[in-house]
Amino acid sequence: MKQELTHLLKQRSILLLLCISLLLTWLSLHNGWQNIHHIREQISHAQLEADLRHQSQQADYASRAQIDAGEIGYYLFHNVYQHPTEWSFLALGNRLVTPYVQRIRLLGLQGQLYDGESHHPEYVMLGSFDYAFWLVFFTPLICIALLHDLKASEFQAQRLVFLNSLIANPKVFWARRVLLRWVLILLSLIIPLVFFAIAQSLSLKPLITVIAITALYTLFWVVICLFISLRKQAMNASLNAMLLASIWLVLCVALPNLAQLWLHQQYPIQDGSQIALQHRQLVHNAWDQPKTDTLNPFYVHYPQWQDTPAVTGRFHWKWYYAFQHMADVQLQAQVTDREQTLALRDQTTKKLGLVLPSLWVQHSLENIAQSNVTHLLTHRRRITDFHTQLRHFLYPYLFEEKAMTVNDLVNMPTFENQASAPVHP
């Protein structure tokens, strides 16, 4: 084994390939980390601005004898954050297309929530060069480059017959060669990962899981290369490389994309911007309708406020916030259907990963990074819960027409106190 290792490392092409793998693995980790670092900086900046804005508003409210709850609901913005986790840099996933800072107020939630979902499809299609992208798409090519000519190189150098006459057990001999190359490939991926984890003081358990995923995925491709390059007819290195490259193209590019197209046809979803547009139209239409057409359905959901003073003038805050919320209620079935469909897509992708290793790796790393659909839906559930608490906090002041004080604002809900829990369809 030692002699084989020395022989391998003396080949400049193999040494160069391993060095490139080390470098690109490190760059993928660094690029993912820089993206997450940028998100954290933006969140910190938004938090600082929110604190300054809050202090200014508190000073303004303190100078008033009483505070209008309707103005609080309209003018007071609450930042909600989708904080990256410790290992989010591994697979950016949905963090590329969903806002990590949003400003929520007492207006209708769906219009605010889905307005922030617009993005450039071309940018999403290109993705980002993170560890998951590098591992899924380019690591198989490293395996192919090192293993496609196991037998062909010996045949073309006219050493194969002589080599077969010297080895007592051919299976053990070739197994050692394959094992050594697999270990070298694995080390070129794991060494940067381990050093990066140590440098950033990352937790151990996810690191072990990522190493296990990396080992299994590279082993899968090593086995494929083994069957192609050690078969009896494997005497042409170029033919072996072409055959393996075709397998890579099918397993890593063609089938995953076909699977995504099938998923989109099997589970079609409504675009979030369409929900935001419908919400805006419902709100605009409410201005021209009799107030009773808004308040009566609202009181069905909140009967505790139906005996409060009637709205007699042209405008009242409680009527305004009632039709904002009723727009949410009218769209709730569409929102629920959309979220359930997203969850079904995610579950189906997980099942497809049982037969498509590239999908399995991507889904597993996104789960560790907490950037998959499940965590996106969890975040939205937290925003919905926060908005509900905010409404329930302000409704008594609006419907009972009570004035607020600065001391009342201290008890206002905050988003950071919301608990995070997985969402299931």
Q: What is the pLDDT of residues 278-308, one digit of tens each?
A: 999 999 999 999 999 999 999 999 999 888 8
Residue for token digits 């302000």?
394
What is the distance of C-alpha 164 from the center of its chain? 51
Q: How many CB atoms lie within 10 A of CB 352?
A: 19
The answer to whether 335 touches 343, Cβ cutoff 8 Å, is no
The pLDDT of residue 158 is above 80:
no
At a CB cut-off of 8 Å and minimum separation 6, what does 332 contact? Answer: none
Nearest alpha-carbon partner for 83 in 104, 98, 68, 62: 98
- Cα–Cα dist 16/146, whole Å: 11
The pLDDT of residue 422 is above 50:
no
Nearest alpha-carbon partner for 279 in 221, 206, 328, 245: 328
Q: What is the DSSP string of 259-298?
A: HHHHHHHHS----HHHHHHHHHHHHHHHTTS-HHHHHHHH
What amino acid occupies position 135? L
The pLDDT of residue 244 is above 90:
yes
Between residues 167 and 226, the one the model is more confident about: 226
CA separation, residue 230 to residues 31, 244, 293 (Å): 37, 13, 77
Query: What pLDDT does residue 353 have?
Result: 94
Q: Record the tokens describing residue 117, joined without a space.
A: 């979902």
User: 80: burial class by Cβ within 10 Å (0-12, 13-18, 19+)?
Assistant: buried
At a CB cut-off of 8 Å and minimum separation 6, what does 377 contact? Answer: 339, 342, 343, 423
The mean pLDDT of the chain is 87
Crossing angle of helices 2-9 and 170-199, rounded to 10°: 70
Rounded average pLDDT over 365-372 = 93
- Cα–Cα dist 157/217, whole Å: 31
Query: What pLDDT does residue 203 have?
Result: 94
Between residues 384 and 234, the one the model is more confident about: 384
The pLDDT of residue 57 is above 50:
yes
What is the distance of C-alpha 88 from the center of its chain? 8
Rounded average pLDDT over 71-83 = 92
Query: What pLDDT does residue 126 have?
Result: 47
Nearest alpha-carbon partner for 135 in 357, 348, 327: 357
Between residues 95 and 222, the one the model is more confident about: 222
Query: For the ranges 68-77, 225-234, 249-258, which has the lowest average pLDDT?
Result: 225-234
Between residues 168 and 321, the one the model is more confident about: 321
The pLDDT of residue 160 is above 60:
no
- Cα–Cα dist 9/287, whole Å: 76
Residue for token digits 């290793």?
357
The answer to whether 135 touches 365, Cβ cutoff 8 Å, is yes
> Structure pTM?
0.87
Residues pairing with 78 in the sheet: 104
Query: What pLDDT does residue 424 have?
Result: 38
Residues pairing with 104 in the sheet: 78
Between residues 14 and 136, the one the model is more confident about: 136
- Cα–Cα dist 77/73, whole Å: 8
- Cα–Cα dist 50/378, whole Å: 23
- Cα–Cα dist 345/292, whole Å: 41
State whether residue 223 is helix, strand or coil: helix
The pLDDT of residue 118 is above 60:
no
